[in-house]
A = this chain, B = another copy of it.
Amino acid sequence: MKLRVFVTLKPGVLDPQGEAVRHALGALGFEGVNGVRQGKMIELDLAETDADKAQQQADEMCQKLLANTVIESYRVEMA
């Protein structure tokens, strides 16, 4: 069962990586870029075949490893 996990910084948390991208886009001549936020996408291929159980497993992985829940939020979806 394949799942996708999206990890993003919570609103209000500074995103220096996104800011760097924004500056670089400006330097390349792209105008009208109001904001850039960078997050992670993690594609999981799990042996679990039950959709609910796989989602639950992915959720636990996020809590324990994939996301820092103090500053990041995450979302799990079926691929």
Q: Using CB atoms and an 8 Å cutoff, list the residues of chain A in contact with chain B.
A: 6, 8, 18, 21, 24-25, 28, 30-48, 57, 60-61, 64-66
Contact = CB atoms under 8 A, between A and B. Distances in A.
Work out how many copies of this chain go into the complex: 2
B25 A47 contact: no
Which 9 pairs between the two chains have the least Cβ-Cβ distance?
A32-B47, A35-B45, A34-B45, A39-B41, A37-B43, A41-B41, A38-B42, A32-B46, A6-B41
Contact of A30 (B24, B28, B43, B61): B61
A41 B43 contact: no
Nearest to A30: B61
A47 B26 CA distance: 13
Contact of A66 (B21, B40, B44, B47): B21
